[in-house]
Amino acid sequence: MSKNFVKTAVIGHPIAHSKSPLIHNEWLRVYGLQGSYEAIDIEPEVLADGVRALVERGLAGFNVTIPHKIAVMELCDEVDKRAREIGAVNTVTIRDGRLHGTNTDAFGFAQNILSACANESWNDWSFDGGAAVVLGAGGAARAVIYALLEQGAPSIILLNRTREKAEELAQTGADRIKVESWQKRSDVLEGANLIVNTTSLGMEGKPRLEIDLSKASSDALVTDVVYAPLYTELLRQAEARGLRCVSGIGMLLHQARPGFELWNGIMPEVTPELEEKVLES
Ligand code: ATR
């Protein structure tokens, strides 16, 4: 094996359904790079041993998915500011045996929307154009809120079934985040610039997200972190009302880019061909 062969992986449990190997191996092929990206199942009880084995095998880095995104932080020698603020690590780079953790989910969320705006010529839409309504206060919401604050959303209305979790998350954005009760989710949409579902509602096998978009402004952009199905009921309702819609698959594709760049030195592009391959898989 050549010295330039770059070994990378994703760790999780379970891991068989991860789309990350397909995405990274496709980029390795497209850019003509020598390397590998494999899916490695590590049970939570043996996470530290599993990670040590990756260092010993000479990996350049790895992605981290459920359920290890929080636990892996303790195993890192350094965790950057964004990962600390989001409260999870999804990308680790190994340099001289030391583990550097970061989080690329906020980047993935923002880039998915920005690239949709560029592709669709929605030049009149921007993150700083008005309030963002965020449904949910779990792990995905933390990254979404980080991105919204970073991209200059002037205010964020946060709603979660368990209100205390929303109150807790709101502390991170201090005066820019206002918590409303979950029951008000259809009412708070009036005048919103952006509407984001970060809950698991609407995902295949999960209950539907009950929401009425009739109060949403015609300028609003609606997005869902759920991508199976690709067009969730939320997005279909938004499309029927003529609102701008951005599906969640792009967040998955864009969040993978910074890790690939850290390990292989090339910032890869998200193309319609890649999206099609991932959706077909
Ligand atoms: P993730 O890391 O994908 O965000 P999570 O941390 O488990 O997953 O968060 C799931 C989100 O979906 C939470 O906001 C959760 O609300 P609670 O905090 O009240 O649990 C939300 N969610 C899941 N099932 C829901 C339901 N039936 N109704 C409303 N919200 C729901």
Each residue of 197-214: pLDDT tens digit? 999 999 999 999 999 999
State yes or no: is 69 an active-site residue: yes
Cα 49 from Cα 155, distance rounded (Å): 43
Over residues 236-260, the mean pLDDT reads 97
* Cis status of the peptide bond prior to 258, with omega within 30 of 0: no
Ligand 1 atom closest to residue 225's alpha carbon, by position in its atom list: 3
Q: Which CATH architecture has domain 6-103+256-280?
A: 3-Layer(aba) Sandwich (3.40)
Task: Determine if the pTM surpasses 0.75.
Answer: yes
Hey, which CATH number is domain 107-248, 3.10.20.30, 3.30.1120.130, 3.40.50.2000, 3.40.50.720?
3.40.50.720
119 alpha carbon to ligand 1 midpoint, in Å? 31
Each residue of 41-64: pLDDT tens digit? 999 999 999 999 999 999 999 999
Is there a shared CATH topology between the 6-103+256-280 domain and the 107-248 domain?
A: yes
* Cis status of the peptide bond prior to 67, with omega within 30 of 0: yes
User: Catalytic one among 69, 81, 165, 178?
Assistant: 69
pLDDT at 275 over 70: yes
> Are residues 166 and 159 in contact, defined by beta-carbon separation less than 8 angstroms?
yes
What amino acid occupies position 71? A
The residue behind tokens 């205010």 is 155
Q: What is the pLDDT of residue 2?
A: 54
Q: Map out the domains of the chain as residue ranges.
A: 6-103+256-280, 107-248
In the structure, what pLDDT confidence band is assigned to residue 3 with cuts at 50, 70 and 90? low
Each residue of 228-237: pLDDT tens digit? 999 999 999 9
Q: What is the pLDDT of residue 174?
A: 74
Each residue of 131-162: pLDDT tens digit? 999 999 999 999 999 999 999 999 999 999 99
64 alpha carbon to ligand 1 midpoint, in Å? 20
Ligand 1 atom closest to residue 141's alpha carbon, by position in its atom list: 4
Ligand 1 atom closest to residue 137's alpha carbon, by position in its atom list: 14
Buried b (16+ CB within 10 A) or exposed e, 166-179: beebbeebeebbeb
Q: What is the pLDDT of residue 231?
A: 95
Each residue of 66-76: pLDDT tens digit? 999 999 999 99
User: Within 6 Å (CB) of ligand 1, which residues are found?
Assistant: 136-141, 160-162, 165, 198-201, 207
- 172 bridge partner residues: none
